[in-house]
């Protein structure tokens, strides 16, 4: 499929300045995320799924199922690094996470519903995003 781009053809949903500032912020967060977590953030959903148990982000993994074939899946960083069973360690801290793995196909199946929900509420989300202090620093 070939795409044709016609620049400045119609009234934009957001201004070019906000679009470009957003792209810079996405890139900045991408680099920060990779530096902090050691994961490359290379999948569309990288860093966008938050664990309901521990609050860390999900990362893409490949699991091997019974017949030895690889399956694309997602799991939270804490579970990936510390194990799938939350437990106390000597100093009173806890490690691990009891969350479950998500099959990549399930993530792909629910994505259209999440996008539809976001689009329904896009004005409110955009306003919340624009009120974020990091956006002010980018726009000033
Ligand atoms: Zn977790």
Per-residue pLDDT reduced to its tens digit, 76-102:
999 999 999 999 988 888 899 999 899
Question: What was the pLDDT predicted at 76?
Answer: 93
Å from CA of 97 to ligand 1 middle: 5
Å from CA of 6 to ligand 1 middle: 44
Q: How far is it, in rounded angstroms, from Cα 101 to Cα 60?
A: 10
Residues in the chain where the model's pLDDT stays below 50: none
Å from CA of 42 to ligand 1 middle: 20
Number of other CB atoms surrounding residue 74 within 10 Å: 22
Å from CA of 84 to ligand 1 middle: 9
- End-to-end CA distance of the chain: give it in Å, rounded: 39
Distance of CA 56 to the CA centre of its chain: 10
DSSP for residue 20: H
Residue ranges of the domains in the chain?
16-139
Å from CA of 111 to ligand 1 middle: 20
Å from CA of 59 to ligand 1 middle: 11
Q: How far is it, in rounded angstroms, from Cα 74 to Cα 103?
A: 6
Between β-strands 58-64 and 102-103, what pairing exists: parallel, antiparallel or unpaired?
Answer: unpaired
Structure tokens at 8: 């400045």
Å from CA of 29 to ligand 1 middle: 20
Q: Spell out the residues 6+ positions from residue 74 whose beta carbon is closer than 8 angstroms to its own.
A: 45, 49, 58, 59, 60, 61, 101, 102, 104, 107
Å from CA of 34 to ligand 1 middle: 18
Predicted TM-score (pTM) above 0.75: no
Å from CA of 17 to ligand 1 middle: 36
Question: What was the pLDDT predicted at 1?
Answer: 66
Question: What was the pLDDT predicted at 45?
Answer: 82
- Provide the total of helices (H) and of strands (E) in the chain, helices listed first: 5, 5
Å from CA of 49 to ligand 1 middle: 10
Question: What was the pLDDT predicted at 77?
Answer: 92
Helices (H), the chain: 16-37, 77-82, 104-120, 122-131, 133-139
């Amino acid at each position: 499929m070939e795409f044709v781009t016609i620049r400045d053809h119609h009234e934009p949903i957001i201004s070019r300045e906000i679009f470009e500032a957003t792209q810079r912020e996405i890139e900045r967060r991408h680099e920060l995320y990779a530096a902090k977590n050691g994961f490359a953030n290379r999948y569309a959903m990288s860093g966008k799924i938050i664990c309901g148990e521990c609050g860390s982000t999900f990362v893409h993994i490949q699991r091997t199922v019974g017949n030895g074939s690889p399956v694309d899946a997602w799991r939270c960083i804490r579970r990936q690094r510390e194990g799938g069973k939350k437990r106390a360690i000597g100093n009173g801290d806890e490690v691990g996470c009891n969350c479950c793995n998500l099959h990549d196909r399930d993530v792909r199946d629910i994505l259209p519903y999440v996008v539809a929900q976001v689009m329904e509420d896009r004005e409110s989300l955009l306003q919340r995003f624009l009120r974020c202090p990091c956006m002010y620093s980018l726009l000033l």
